[in-house]
Amino acid sequence: MTSIRLNKELEGKIEKIAAAKKITKSQLIREAVAEYIAAQEKEISPFMVGEKLFGRYGSGKGDLSTTYKTVLKEKFNEKNTR
């Protein structure tokens, strides 16, 4: 069980809506929290959108960050020897 403190204005609004729907305040709050959680679970982060693509088009060379100077020199030499 969880208890929350509400300001009088919010509690009044909850009471009016609950009365209009003919349900208890607790039931209204449970429904609202359940809807909020469902909406949050549907949100997709940018990481989740691209997760399947990360590394998919990689070169397969895991040392490029440490050997980039050598790779650049080789490419430069190849271009100038043609």
pLDDT level of residue 82 (50, 70, 90 thresholds) = low
Neighbours of 50 (CB within 10 A): 10
With beta carbons less than 8 A apart as the criterion, state whether 18 and 25 touch.
yes
Within a domain: 71: yes
* Res. 28: pLDDT tops 90: yes
Within a domain: 1: no
Within a domain: 53: yes
Report the domain count for the chain.
Answer: 1
* Least confident range of 19-23, 24-28, 57-61, 65-69: 57-61
- Residue 51's domain comprises 8-81
Number of H helices, E strands in the chain: 4, 0
Within a domain: 32: yes
pTM of this structure: 0.53
Mean pLDDT of 48-75: 81
With beta carbons less than 8 A apart as the criterion, state whether 56 and 46 touch.
no
Angstrom distance (rounded) from CA 19 to CA 16:
5
